[in-house]
Chains A and B, each alone.
Chain A
Amino acid sequence: KNQVEQSPQSLIILEGKNCTLQCNYTVSPFSNLRWYKQDTGRGPVSLTIMTFSENTKSNGRYTATLDADTKQSSLHITASQLSDSASYICVVETGTASKLTFGTGTRLQVTL
């Protein structure tokens, strides 16, 4: 069964600090892995998309890594801001039927 697991479930950090969110997946066949940011009551917004051959991809203060051998990914947020408070969802797309498997997300709260 295709699954995406994320950790931690929730995280509280001080503004300006860095943090790393983890994602483990068992999805086959693998097409790509995506990280989305979802503000409360809003739809997900794409941060990064990585294919099998990509190890890292950055988008501003967000840097995602992918290890296709161990089926792990991480999202690193640098110099956090209050506006980073949201849920971060790891999503893996299968190579067949373009189906997305969503993780349950990590709820990040950035405080003063």
Chain B
Amino acid sequence: GAVVSQHPSWVICKSGTSVKIECRSLDFQATTMFWYRQFPKQSLMLMATSNEGSKATYEQGVEKDKFLINHASLTLSTLTVTSAHPEDSSFYICSATGQGFSRYFGAGTRLSVL
């Protein structure tokens, strides 16, 4: 079946540094990818919708200059958390649309900012 690979699965960084998270669709082309953030015991919250070859669409309240999204190919989207701070510590999950209603999720990336 379709697989979405997310890397890294866990990252620890110092405050002020930038972190890049990759999301790849392994056996299908994903024209649209989604980035979510999930805090403990809470639901997934959509951060932005990423379309291949165009600018991402950010949800209200999500800073586009802080969370840079690049979707340069049909199989790869990246999320860069710039100048990370402890409040950015969270679980980040990407998702890609497949055929029909299919929506596949990555395994997530746990970001801890010290």
Asked if B111 CB lies within 8 Å of chain A CBs, one says no
Asked if A29 CB lies within 8 Å of chain B CBs, one says no
Asked if A89 CB lies within 8 Å of chain B CBs, one says yes
For B4, B101, B104, which residue has the most chain A Cβ atoms within 10 angstroms? B101
Inter-chain CB contacts under 8 Å: number: 45
**How distant is the Cα of A69 from the Cα of B103 in the complex, in angstroms?**
25
Number of interface residues of B (CB under 8 A): 23
A7-26 CB contact bits vs B (8 Å, 1 = yes)?
00000000000000000000
**Interface size class of chain A, counting residues whose CB lies under 8 Å from the partner chain:** 20 to 34
Nearest chain A CB to B86's CB is how many angstroms away? 19
Nearest chain B CB to A91's CB is how many angstroms away? 8
Judged by DSSP, the binding face of A is strand
B103/A100 in contact, CB under 8 A: yes
B43/A102 in contact, CB under 8 A: yes
Asked if A34 CB lies within 8 Å of chain B CBs, one says yes
Residues of chain A touching chain B, judged by Cβ–Cβ distance below 8 Å, are: 31-32, 34, 36, 41-46, 49, 51, 89, 93, 98-100, 102-105, 107
Lowest 7 A-B CB distances belong to which pairs? A43-B105, A102-B43, A104-B43, A43-B108, A43-B107, A44-B105, A102-B44
Residues of chain B touching chain A, judged by Cβ–Cβ distance below 8 Å, are: 4, 6, 32, 34, 41-46, 91, 93, 95, 97, 101-108, 110
